[in-house]
Amino acid sequence: MAEAPREPGWYRLTETGWVPVDATVAEAEIGAGGGWDLMHVKTAAMAETPLF
> 17-42, pLDDT tens digit by residue?
999 999 999 999 999 999 999 999 98
Alpha-carbon gap, residue 35 to 45, rounded angstroms: 25
Alpha-carbon gap, residue 18 to 10, rounded angstroms: 10
What does the pLDDT look like over 1-15, one tens digit per residue? 678 888 999 999 899
- For CA atoms 19, 6, 49, 51, the dihedral sign is positive
Give residue 25's domain range.
9-47
Closest by CA to 27, choosing from 17, 18, 38, is: 38
Alpha-carbon gap, residue 32 to 5, rounded angstroms: 25
Residue 47 clears pLDDT 60, i.e. is over it: no
- Looking at the domain assignment, is residue 2 inside a domain? no
- Looking at the domain assignment, is residue 1 inside a domain? no
Alpha-carbon gap, residue 45 to 25, rounded angstroms: 24
Q: How many domains does the chain have?
A: 1
